[in-house]
Amino acid sequence: EPEVTQTPSHQVTQMGQEVILRCVPISNHLYFYWYRQILGQKVEFLVSFYNNEISEKSEIFDDQFSVERPDGSNFTLKIRSTKLEDSAMYFCASQKTTSTDTQYFGPGTRLTVL
Amino acid sequence: AQSVTQPDIHITVSEGASLELRCNYSYGATPYLFWYVQSPGQGLQLLLKYFSGDTLVQGIKGFEAEFKRSQSSFNLRKPSVHWSDAAEYFCAVGLLKAAGNKLTFGGGTRVLVKP
């Protein structure tokens, strides 16, 4: 069964550094998402992406965050200057359409900012 | 804005016993409701979803959930739990828009299964 993959599984970085989290969505899917889960808290929506542009973003997704689909297979989340509070598990998800289709989640990247 | 509450943070159940996980939502329109499960080191896997129609929804792994509009609830049940059901379970409500389905999650319920 096709699945969403994410790399790396764990990323450690210094505060102020840039990080790029990578996701490979399921190949025929059209809608892409990033969510995050700070330890002990809820899974939170960050951004949705369709037709090569952001369709919705949360208040968390400020100017330090950006997303890109640089080629036909990858979907990336960049954090320009990481803060301690960016430490979290980041999940990528993809969806074929927005009707009743399922959002399929990747296994997550755990980001630790020191 | 929509919100989801899962009142139970932890539940411990004996193998073979029944399980019920509670979920309450707040949403102004007809909700799209989901249950996901997360096993250690794994992503979120969809167990079942409700969009319309029959309020009793069957899912994978023997799970079912019942939508009760009057109680704003979407509780998840399983008649007989297996040790492999130990995991964290998340209820979510979806907002359907033309260009995306933002999901709002509850805080999760961690299920421990005793032999």
Q: Give the pLDDT of residue A106.
A: 94
pLDDT in tens, B18-68: 999 999 999 877 788 999 999 887 789 999 999 888 899 999 999 999 999
Give the span between the Cα atoms of A95 and A82, in whole angstroms: 28
Nearest residue, CB atoms, B51 vs list A91, A100, A106:
A100
Vertex A25: Cα angle to A83 and A92 (nearest 5) = 30
Strands A53-57 and B24-26: unpaired
B51 interface with A at CB cutoff 8 Å:
yes
The burial class, CB within 10 Å (0-12 / 13-18 / 19+), for B11 is middle
- Mean of the per-residue pLDDT values for chain B? 91
Give the span between the Cα atoms of A43 and B38, in whole angstroms: 12
Q: Give the pLDDT of residue B56.
A: 96
Q: What mean pLDDT comes out for the span B82-88?
A: 95
Nearest residue, CB atoms, B105 vs list A31, A43, A104:
A43
B90 interface with A at CB cutoff 8 Å:
yes
Q: Give the pLDDT of residue B11.
A: 97
> Does B46 sit within 8 Å of A102, measured CB to CB?
yes
CA distance between the termini of chain A: 37
B68 interface with A at CB cutoff 8 Å:
no
Q: Is B62 left (phi over 0), alpha (psi -120 to 50) or beta?
A: left
In this prediction, the residues of chain A whose per-residue pLDDT falls under 50 are: none
> Does A44 sit within 8 Å of B105, measured CB to CB?
yes
Q: Give the pLDDT of residue A90.
A: 97
Mutation to test the B interface, candidates A32, A90, A100, A104, most B Cβ within 10 Å: A100
pLDDT confidence bin for B98, thresholds 50/70/90? low
Q: Give the pLDDT of residue B78.
A: 98
Q: Give the pLDDT of residue B97.
A: 67
Q: Which residue from B minimizes the CA distance to A107?
A: B43
B97 interface with A at CB cutoff 8 Å:
yes
pLDDT confidence bin for B104, thresholds 50/70/90? very high
Min Cα distance A86 → chain B (Å) is 19
Q: Give the pLDDT of residue A70.
A: 86
Q: Give the pLDDT of residue A1.
A: 77
Nearest residue, CB atoms, B101 vs list A42, A95, A106:
A95
pLDDT in tens, A17-31: 999 999 999 999 999
Q: Which residue from B minimizes the CA distance to A51?
A: B99
Tokens encoding A114: 């020191």
